Structure 1
């Protein structure tokens, strides 16, 4: 019992000791120490940039907080973009735009006519599908790519960029919207379809002009 009390007293003496308190305080306030050093450094930089400012150290704290918020927001935005790009690429590499031999047997002009018919009915998701397939089979008919049921839009993009990188990039953008509408359970609104149709027709027009030269 005496030994137990003695050990307890010794432990309390150690905890009250100067060395332990310094160790405890240093580790407890490491973030505070870092914060003070960061403010001091930023205050020095502000003083160098604006010598006339006497309260550079006082202005450092709110500026530092703002910078931290901006950096966190920027990192969050970058992560969002990276996740979105990864999702887009994965969808492009997995999903196949052609579902049946019937679609394979249609010409680009027939897909265009079907896109117009579905648009008139207000079926903009189906219109998007046939408008995209019209573009795909137009490139197939020009022998810039080879349409096959087993191919993904990434395969078509890879083939098309060997012909024209700009067209391939525009096709990639349209293919992503097509995949979202077809596989992403995204209901296409009228305004979205009109924008999609305009970009697809623009790409068709650019290729037509090149062929007419």
Structure 2
């Protein structure tokens, strides 16, 4: 009996010993042992946050997995929008909207008139281009930016942002469609043109010359 008791004590010491625990962890695998510790930590955290809730490792595991999946989804969505915005920025970083001196010599009123005539013919793609150039030259006249043939839309965006950040963001969206029209052979239809025109005209309609043009057309 004495020997049996000693054997049990020795076995208990072995099972509780550091070397046996290390061996057990190795046999389960490092990842599995790490996951058990995380679940245990998370269960304790839930117990502190919700005293009436007594989670076990089995209960904490699915909750923890759900939270990790949610975090991964949020990170994925965030990465998608960051990538999309960077891609959009690259789309017009090197594009120059004014492609000739003739376009620069035109007044913003002439570009707007050309846009309106093209719109009346149903040529919304070309109308979009002239409407954007009208807006760009209007900003130049208001001294919110300086229009130059060698400048890109990205540079105009940076200049306008110093004047008004919200205007710069709206200009950013208008410039994207302009670039798709000019460099991507994008075809603009009426449904896409009308909100574009509405945004641009919020600025242009403040001009006294534009109001006079509207009165003459009526």
Matching residue of 2:158: 158
Question: What is the CA distance between 1:38 and its match in structure 2?
Answer: 1.8
- Aligned partners of 1:51, 1:160: CA distance in 2, in Å? 55
Q: Give, in angstroms, the shift of residue 143 of structure 1.
A: 3.2
Native 8 Å contact 2:25 2:33 kept in 1: no
Instruction: Measure how far apart 1:159 and its partner are.
Output: 2.9
| Secondary structure at the counterpart of residue 80 of structure 2 | helix
Q: Aligned equivalents of 2:181 and 2:44: distance in 1?
A: 54
Does the CA contact (< 8 Å) of 1:43 and 1:57 recur in 2?
yes
Give me the TM-score of the superposition, normalised by structure 2.
Answer: 0.72
1:133 aligns with 2:138: no
CA pair 53-25 structure 1, distance change in 2 beyond 3 A: closer
Q: Name 1:124's counterpart in structure 2.
A: 124
CA contact (8 A) 2:46 2:55 kept: no
Gaps of 5+ in 2: 1-18, 209-218
Cα RMSD (Å): 2.8
Tell me what 2:90 maps to: 90
Q: 1:180 to 1:28 in 2, by over 3 A?
A: farther
- Closer/same/farther in 2, CA of residues 147 and 27 from structure 1, 3 Å limit: farther
Q: Deviations over 1:102-141 (max 9, x none)?
A: 3223221222222223333333332221111110111222
In the TM superposition, what whole-angstrom CA distance separates every residue of 1:70-101 from its partner, at most 9, and x where no partner exists?
12112222222222222222233211111223
Contact in 2 for aligned 1:46/1:56 (Cα 8 Å): no
Match of 1:79 in 2: 79
Alpha-carbon distance change, 160 to 29 in structure 1, aligned in 2, over 3 angstroms: same
| Partner in structure 1 of residue 36 of structure 2 | 36
Q: How many residues align?
A: 188
- Point out where structure 1 has 5 or more consecutive residues left out of the alignment: 1-18
Mean alpha-carbon deviation: is it higher for 91-100 or for 110-119? 110-119
